[in-house]
Amino acid sequence: MKAKVAINGYGTIGKRVADAVAAQDDMEVVGVVKTRPSFEARIALEKGFALYTAAKENIEDFKKSKIEVSGTLEELLDKADIMIDATPGDTGEEYKKLYEKHGVKAIWEGGEEHELTGFSFNSEANYSDALGRDFARVVSCNTTGLVRVLYALDISFGVRKARVTLMRRAADPNDIKTGPINALIPDPIKLPSHHGPDVNSILPDIDITTMAVKTSTTLMHLHALNIELKKPCKEDDIIKVFEKRPRIMLVSSKDRIKSTAEAMELAKDMGRPRGDMWENVVWKDSIAINKGELYFFQAIHQESDVVPENVDAIRAMIEMEKDGASSIKKTNKALGIKSN
Ligand code: NAD
Q: What is the tens place of the pLDDT at every residue in 308-328?
A: 999 999 999 999 999 999 999
179-224 tens-digit pLDDT:
999 999 999 999 999 999 999 999 999 999 999 999 999 999 999 9
Q: In this predicted structure, what is the pLDDT of residue 67?
A: 96
| Same domain (yes/no): 152, 244 | yes
Instruction: Write down the pLDDT at residue 338.
Output: 86
User: Are 177 and 79 contained in the same domain?
Assistant: no
Ligand 1 atom nearest 14 alpha carbon: 26
- Rounded-to-integer distance, Cα 205 and Cα 279, Å: 24
User: Strand locations in the chain, DSSP E?
Assistant: 3-8, 27-34, 51-53, 71-72, 82-85, 105-108, 120-121, 135-138, 159-169, 185-186, 208-215, 221-229, 248-251, 280-283, 288-290, 293-300
Q: What pTM was estimated for this model as a whole?
A: 0.98
Residues 54 and 203 in one domain: no
Closest ligand 1 atom, CA of 94? Answer: 18
Of 121, 166, 197, nearest to 298 (Cα)? 166
Mean pLDDT of 169-188: 96
Ligand 1 pocket: which of 17, 62, 109 to mutate (most atoms within 8 A of CB): 109
Q: How does pLDDT run across 78-89, given as a tens digit for each residue?
A: 999 999 999 998
Q: What is the mean pLDDT of residues 156-175?
A: 98
pLDDT digits (tens, 9 = 90+) for 248-286: 999 999 999 999 999 999 999 999 999 999 999 999 999
Question: Does 340 map to a domain?
Answer: no
Residues with CB under 6 A from ligand 1: 8-14, 33, 35, 54, 86-89, 91, 109-112, 140-141, 172, 302-303, 306
Contact 141, 300 (CB under 8 A): yes
Q: Quick one: 201 and 234 in the same domain?
A: yes
Give nearest CA residue, ligand 1 atom 20.
9
Residue 96 sits in a domain whose CATH number is 3.40.50.720
Q: Out of 77, 141, 281, 337, which one is annotated catalytic?
A: 141
Bridge pairing between strands 280-283 and 51-53: unpaired
Query: Does a structural domain hold residue 41?
Result: yes
CA distance 64 to 68: 10
CATH number for the domain spanning 210: value is: 3.30.360.10
Specify the pLDDT at position 90. Answer: 81
| Cβ contact 321:130 at 8 Å | no
104 and 228, same domain (yes or no)? no
Please tell me the predicted confidence (pLDDT) of residue 340. Answer: 63
pLDDT bracket for residue 141 (50, 70, 90) = very high
Query: Confidence class of residue 287 from pLDDT cuts 50, 70 and 90?
Result: very high
Contact criterion met (CB below 8 Å) for 114 and 194: no
Whether 306 and 137 have beta carbons less than 8 Å apart is answered as no
37 contacts 62 by C-beta, under 8 angstroms? yes
233 has catalytic annotation: no
Q: How confident is the model at residue 93 (pLDDT cuts 50, 70, 90)?
A: confident
Alpha-carbon span 117 to 62, nearest angstrom: 33
Question: What residues contact residue 320 under an 8 Å CB cut-off, 6+ apart?
Answer: 3, 26, 27, 314
- Domain count of the fold of the chain: 2
Q: With 80 as the cut, is the pLDDT of residue 339 above it?
A: no
Regarding whether 320 and 202 lie in a shared domain, the answer is no
Collapsing DSSP states into helix, strand and coil, what is residue 297? Answer: strand
Query: In angstroms, what is the span from residue 65 Cα to ligand 1's centroid?
Result: 23
Q: Do 39 and 133 lie in a common domain?
A: yes
Answer whether residue 12 is part of any domain.
yes
Q: How confident is the model at residue 104 (pLDDT cuts 50, 70, 90)?
A: very high
DSSP 216: S
Host domain of residue 133? 3-139+306-335
Exposed / middle / buried, residue 274 (Cβ in 10 Å: 0-12, 13-18, 19+): middle
- Residues 76 and 99 reside in one and the same domain: yes
Which residue puts its alpha carbon closest to atom 40 of ligand 1?
302
Q: Tell me, yes or no, whether 155 and 229 share the same domain.
A: yes
pLDDT tens-digit readout, 7-51: 999 999 999 999 999 999 999 999 999 999 999 999 999 999 999
